[in-house]
């Protein structure tokens, strides 16, 4: 029997799309989705500056809006930063935290990500927590250890009631924006390992109910193979989410 976990397809626009381009993308996506509705959870993460308009653009469609980051402090003298409460106040429901680009270019550590998860969940945001190994770590065979360390460090201090609001996204860094994708077998192997890690930390109920998304060059051509794996509960999509038809085709690649 298929599991009862929520399936989620999330779009990470990164630093792409001007305001008008972004709204046009959402309008196109709305039209496609209303022509063929989905029972799954669809999330879009535009840049901060588009969030409030994105919330209005998807009102009544069921699409949820996410931010791509937030600051760990509730407020303060942090020029250029955005707090979790601000995100919640404009209607964002999710926030992506720990993305490898934040780790690589902005020096974010698992300890910092843990603080951000606390800030986000304190304001009722759901978190898409990203983890995943580099190519060197996979080649060295340390990828399981690394992912376990990332998950344990970022999540271990939280109560199960907080973890219920966390979605894990496994994103092998070597597959992000490179056109290389984990094979369905590689993804399934790591997702099962992540579930086992969650079970060790929080018990079977949390482990069985936490959605684990795959991210890394997912596109219409490879989505069905990945999304058919028993422990792959959806996708976090970068490049292909910038084209409404591709993102829509990925949504409908989830097996019935
Ligand atoms: C991402 O950055 O989260 C991502 C998965 O990007 P892409 O789909 O472009 O590899």
CB 111 within 8 A of CB 97: no
Domain boundary among 122, 154, 174: 174
Instruction: Convert the pLDDT of each residue in 126-164 to its tens digit.
Output: 999 999 999 999 999 999 999 999 999 999 999 999 999
Domain interval for residue 122: 71-93+107-174
pLDDT range class, residue 256, cuts 50, 70, 90: confident
Helix spans in the chain (H): 19-35, 51-57, 84-89, 100-106, 110-122, 135-139, 143-155, 160-163, 184-202, 204-209, 220-227, 244-251
Does 215 share its domain with 226?
yes
Does 60 share its domain with 79?
no
Check pocket membership of 236 for ligand 1, CB cut-off 6 A.
yes
Instruction: Convert the pLDDT of each residue in 32-70 to its tens digit.
Output: 999 999 999 999 999 999 999 999 999 989 999 999 999
Instruction: Convert the pLDDT of each residue in 156-208 to its tens digit.
Output: 999 999 999 999 999 999 999 888 899 999 999 999 999 999 999 999 999 99
Looking at the structure of the chain, the number of domains it has is 2
pLDDT for the residue numbered 177: 85
Does 42 share its domain with 79?
no
Does 76 share its domain with 163?
yes
pLDDT for the residue numbered 179: 86
Phi, psi of 42 (to 5 degrees): -110, 130
Does 154 share its domain with 59?
no
pLDDT for the residue numbered 2: 60
Does 61 share its domain with 151?
no
Check pocket membership of 181 for ligand 1, CB cut-off 6 A.
no
pLDDT for the residue numbered 6: 87
pLDDT for the residue numbered 189: 98
pLDDT for the residue numbered 237: 98
Instruction: Convert the pLDDT of each residue in 71-84 to its tens digit.
Output: 999 999 999 999 99
Residue owning the nearest CA to atom 6 of ligand 1:
238
| β partners of residue 127 | 95, 166
Phi, psi of 150 (to 5 degrees): -60, -45
Does 128 share its domain with 34?
no
Q: Classify residue 63: in a domain, yes or no.
A: yes
Does 162 share its domain with 228?
no
Cα-to-centroid distance, 78 and ligand 1 (Å): 28
* Catalytic residue of the set 99, 101, 108, 143: 99
Mutating to test ligand 1, I would choose from 10, 11, 12 the residue with most ligand atoms within 8 A of its C-beta, which is 12
Does 45 share its domain with 86?
no
Does residue 1 surpass a pLDDT of 70? no
Domain boundary among 126, 146, 174: 174
Domain boundary among 174, 200, 229: 174
């Amino acid at each position: 029997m298929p599991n009862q976990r929520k399936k989620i397809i999330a779009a990470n626009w990164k630093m792409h799309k001007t305001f008008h381009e972004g709204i046009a993308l959402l309008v196109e996506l709305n039209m496609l989705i209303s022509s063929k509705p989905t029972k799954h959870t669809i999330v879009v993460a535009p840049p901060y500056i588009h969030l409030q308009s994105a919330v209005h653009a998807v009102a009544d469609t069921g699409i949820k809006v996410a931010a791509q980051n937030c600051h760990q402090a509730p407020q303060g003298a942090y020029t250029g930063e955005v707090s979790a409460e601000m995100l919640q106040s404009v209607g964002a429901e999710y926030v992506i935290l720990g993305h490898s680009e934040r780790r690589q270019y902005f020096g974010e550590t698992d300890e910092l990500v843990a603080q951000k998860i606390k800030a986000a969940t304190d304001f009722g945001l759901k978190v898409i927590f990203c983890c995943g190994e580099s190519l060197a770590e996979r080649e060295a065979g340390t990828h399981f250890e690394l992912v376990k360390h990332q998950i344990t460090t970022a999540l271990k201090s939280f109560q199960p009631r907080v973890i219920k609001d966390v979605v894990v996204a496994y994103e092998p860094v070597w597959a992000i924006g490179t056109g290389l994708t984990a094979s369905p077998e590689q993804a399934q192997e790591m997702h099962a390992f992540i579930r086992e890690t969650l079970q060790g930390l929080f018990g079977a109920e949390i482990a069985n109910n936490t959605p684990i998304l795959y991210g890394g060059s997912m596109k219409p051509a490879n989505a069905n193979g990945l999304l058919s794996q028993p422990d792959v509960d959806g996708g976090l999509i970068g490049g292909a989410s910038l084209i409404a038809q591709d993102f829509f085709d990925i949504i409908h690649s989830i097996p019935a």
